[in-house]
Amino acid sequence: MTFAAVDVIRAKRDGGRLSDEQIAWVLDAYTRGVVAEEQMAALAMAIFLRGMDVHETAIWTGAMIDSGERLALAVDRPTVDKHSTGGVGDKITLPLAPLVAACGAAVPQLSGRGLGHTGGTLDKLESIPGWRAALSTEEITRQLNEVGAVVCAATEGLAPADRKLYALRDVTSTVESIPLIASSIMSKKIAEGSAGLVLDVKTGTGAFMKTADQARELARTMVGIGSAHGVATTALLTEMSTPLGRAVGNAVEVAEAVEVLRGGGPADVVALTLALAREMLTLAGLSDVDPARVLASGGAYETWCRMISAQGGDPDAALPKPRHVHLVAAPRDGVLSRLDAYAVGVAAWRLGAGRARKEDPVQHAAGILLHAKPGDTVSAGEPLLELHTDTPDAVPAALAALGDAFEIDGPAPAHPLILDSIRT
């Protein structure tokens, strides 16, 4: 069935509900270039302003999945995946994927790159000498069977409609639409072929969703989409007003993830890794396996080494070191009561850890080490933040971004790490 693009735009502009046929046609036609960029931009803005209901969003997601291939994973373990909506210091995928694999599941973690203040998993892993992100479907399947976990870039054939639409939304101020965000995430995750999916939906200053209500709505929308497409889906709402862990950047986050895999690491990173692992193992039918015990046994670290080696990396190689380090000292004695995740993320980005455009390079050694977290007692003149960069000229801009990022006043307010859980 063929429609006129202007009629589809008008229907949504006027607050109407798009039919299944209209949605299927417009996304297929846009992928093939029949619907022009300016027409899809107009439709995206109409959706941004008018929204889509649960059924429309599920159909929209299905049409984006159908625009490309679905991975056919011939794997002899139960498959389960995880997705985070992005944050500052969010290196959880790095210890989580090998941990869940060491517990008996297969984890096909197709990840992305950082943009703006949020880091990208692939950028972090590429700080490991020799590691490569691009794998074929055959390589992904073989690694899942032999190792149990793979973290790599999405194949070109997955949800091409989403790839086009995502780039368009970025330049037309239509990013902040829950139906479009949810369908973008879920189309790629469902196309991966996992039977189960756990979502880490972050909220707070360093998250895309600034309020818990926004995050909860996004989580419910995505869980509903997963259910509608036969993928068992669970979401955790997690706090992202303070950076996660004590490392923000690329190589520094890999080093912290390895600490966790070796039985150490910051308490918040360990706690969230284990919480997500338990959710994933439940969906995989492996709830009787204790991920804390597996982590303590060293099994997850062994799987990490095999996973990195399988993708050409050297897990024993030294990670890149910055050419320049700048210390930010505590201005006075007291208790660190606030450390703003967004400001720290922007500062790390300006040091070279992130990018403004998708084609920009990143510095593997760039980032920030946090010598104190909220609740810690600090002394005047002692290091509070450690800025890493290969370009010293970037330090003033990073310091400007930090601005009033921290307060030293008194006891830090308690912020639970996990705020809620949403299940089908």
The residues carrying an active-site annotation are 83, 162, 169, 184, 188
Give the Å distances, CA to CA, from 251 to 335, 389, 395.
29, 11, 18
Report whether 82 contacts 280 (CB < 8 A): yes
Contacts of 409 by beta carbon, 8 Å cutoff, 6+ apart: 334, 335, 337, 338
If you search the block for the tokens 């996660």, which residue do you land on?
Answer: 244
Distance CA 47, CA 24 (A): 15
Eight-class DSSP state of 203: E
- Adjacent-strand bridge partners of 169: none
Residue 277's closest CA among 287, 263, 291, 288? 291
Question: What tokens were used for 217?
Answer: 């709505």
**HSE value, Cβ hemisphere, 13 Å, CA-based, for 58:** 14
Distance CA 116, CA 119 (A): 8
- For 266-298, give one letter per residue: b (16+ CB within 10 A) or e: bebbbebbbbbbbbbbbbbebeebebeebbeee
Residue 147's closest CA among 300, 315, 314? 300
